[in-house]
Chain A
């Protein structure tokens, strides 16, 4: 695929990130769904990937040569849905039907539930093995593409992550990049207290990966790091993105209550003001009539 993502200037990227954060907060409120802090912490990573790094074309979501992006931390689905809608993969009106009975957008994504969702995730530790399989497939049969995986730090406690890390290094799979959204929290506490993750970048290096640490909210740094794949080392790449859970909303930042808390209507308005978004009626009770169902995804593309 020749198509490259548009690469808007950084202030436009920042505006997109604010818009997506606002949508994520609204969706959590409207659908009464948790994991808001986890979704907010990875928005900048998604924006940098989808506007600049990924070789994708929303008009051809099943193109065989597209880069694959797997949201292995599936509990951040609202951030992925809002990003894909904003990027043109589907009608943003569909976000109003998030988590509705009989809808297509569940709290954890399923394969091709909307165009652009490359895998069903929600059980942690599945994305990296899937991405390695995709990487081997393009190595064996082509066409060439790259595979990106977004994981949480808590997810790095899963054994499958390290099984995959060992295999990828042995096979020198340099077309795979894993981003760890290192917000230092997991569901019930500090990730470094519950399990000894620290030093995380050194662990990935010890497993044979090319590991880089960066500020997971620095859109420019993220875009550069994501674009530079393969990175020339011949190794798979791990980006340890230092992030803040609940990023962007002052009263949610680094407060793990927002792993499960649902924002009230007032909190949504306060969040929107902080994000510089105009006051808007909440997309809750007066839902528009459901949009026409999307064409069913083909599921796989050879």
Chain B
């Protein structure tokens, strides 16, 4: 995804002179093409993320479209007040890009995990939160934020994620994209977990359960039309996210659901990280397994809950 971001921003900068890239001393070689083509529009801001974020706001106040880029916790949590005051309170079109989100940089340890960023940024007024599922969605998301009047956050994984889309999808901020149609249950995937949700859907198909998968690339604003449709059509809706169960997409959907009247009959399941720091060493795959964010674990739990709820599962 990070390569897709660099490619997208380089491509778009050719026709949009407002685009500026600010890097927090990472992305060695990543922005070589951008720097070669637009040397006056790239700044390595050093290991000084708060200044980088404030400068992005200052640029946006003068009509530019800056992107800040660094490892997710340092570009979000560390500088939350700069995002809140300088960017969101001013309501300027600066975009925060976080790389290594969720457990993508799991092996680097909890300082580099980001399982709370969606919660922190989702509650800021004016902020749009985008969690693209693959390289194609990253490209689309970068293009889409250039049309926004205000701030945005783009949550990236690392690189080499499996493609979810065969071709560049129609991408509208605030509208989920159906990745795989189904009729029994619906899996709402957030960003880095959409590919896993698709795998889980294939496993469910083997067990006779037809699962729809939607890439909910916009965690805020919530796609309420999509939710209304899903909770009307399916017996079970599951949110799958590489994020804390507190404050992420699952929590947003639960809050929306709790306010519905009449209350829809569909059951809501949440697959998310627990409210703990992950102290061991380990890979993304290891930690995803340990917190139940694998296709096997998701399929098994959906099957169990769906069977309990409807008696339709044929296993």
Interface SS, B side: helix
Interface: A129 (CB within 8 A): yes
Establish whether residues A134 and B46, one from each chain, have CB atoms under 8 Å apart when the complex forms.
Answer: no
Establish whether residues B59 and A126, one from each chain, have CB atoms under 8 Å apart when the complex forms. no
B221 within 8 A of A: no
When distances are taken between beta carbons in the complex, the residues of chain A under 8 Å from B48 are 163-164, 166-167
Note all chain B residues with C-beta closer than 8 A to A299.
Answer: 90-92
Find chain B residues with CB under 8 A from A301 CB: 62-63
Measured between beta carbons, the chain B residues less than 8 angstroms from A163 are: 46, 48, 50-51
Q: Which residues of B contact A123 (CB under 8 A)?
A: 81, 85
Q: Confirm or deny: A302 has a beta carbon within 8 angstroms of a beta carbon on chain B.
A: yes
Which of the candidate stretches A26-34, A75-83, A137-145 sits at the interface with the other chain? A137-145
B177 interface hit (Cβ, 8 Å): no
Query: Is the beta-carbon distance between A130 and B54 smaller than 8 angstroms?
Result: yes
For window 271-302 of A, CB contacts with B under 8 Å fall at: 299-302
Interface size on A, residues (CB 8 A): 35
> Shortest beta-carbon distance, B40 to chain A, in Å?
6
**Is B82 at the interface (CB under 8 A from chain A)?**
yes
- Contact indicator per residue, chain B 74-106, by CB within 8 Å of chain A (1) or not (0): 000000011001100111100000000000000
Q: In B25-71, which residues have CB < 8 Å from any A CB?
A: 40-41, 43, 45-46, 48, 50-64, 66
| A166 x B60 contact (CB < 8 A) | no
In the complex, A178 has a CB within 8 A of chain B? no
Residues of chain A within 8 A (CB-CB) of B85 are 120, 123, 126
**Complex CA distance for A130 and B51, rounded to whole angstroms:** 8
CB–CB A133/B54 < 8 A? yes
Distance in angstroms from B173 CB to nearest chain A CB is: 20
Q: Is the CB–CB distance between B57 and A130 below 8 Å?
A: yes
Question: A129 and B82 in contact (CB under 8 A), knowing A136-B55, A164-B54, A166-B48?
Answer: yes
* A135 smallest CB distance to B (angstroms): 8
Which chain B residues lie closer than 8 Å to A164 at the CB level? Answer: 48, 51, 54-55
* Nearest A-chain residue to B55, judged by Cβ: A133
CB distance from B65 to the nearest CB of A (A): 11
Residue pair B51, A167 in contact (C-beta under 8 Å):
yes
Closest Cβ of chain B: how far from A120's Cβ, in Å? 5
> In whole angstroms, what is the CA distance A129 to B86 when docked?
9
Q: Is the CB of A132 within 8 A of B51?
A: yes
Residues of A within 8 A of B58 (CB): 129-137
B20 within 8 A of partner (CB) = yes
Q: How far is the CA of A128 from the CA of B51 in the complex (A)?
A: 8
A126–B82 Cα distance when bound, in Å, is 8
Instruction: Contact check, B54 vs A302: say whether CB atoms are below 8 A apart.
Output: no
Binary flags per residue of A156-167, CB closer than 8 Å to B gives 1, else 0: 000110011011
**Separation in Å of the A189 CB from the closest CB of chain B?**
24
Contact B64 A137 (CB under 8 A): yes
Q: List 26 A-B contacts (CB under 8 A).
A: A64-B62, A111-B61, A111-B89, A119-B61, A123-B81, A126-B54, A129-B50, A129-B51, A129-B52, A130-B57, A130-B58, A132-B54, A133-B58, A133-B60, A134-B61, A137-B64, A139-B40, A140-B40, A141-B62, A141-B64, A160-B51, A163-B48, A163-B50, A167-B51, A170-B46, A302-B63
A-B pairs, top 6 by smallest CB distance, nearest first, are A133-B58, A129-B54, A302-B63, A137-B62, A133-B55, A163-B48
Starting from the known contacts A119-B61, A130-B55, 16 additional A-B residue pairs (CB-CB under 8 Å) come to A129-B51, A129-B57, A133-B54, A133-B59, A134-B59, A136-B58, A137-B61, A140-B40, A140-B64, A160-B82, A163-B51, A164-B51, A166-B48, A167-B45, A167-B48, A300-B62
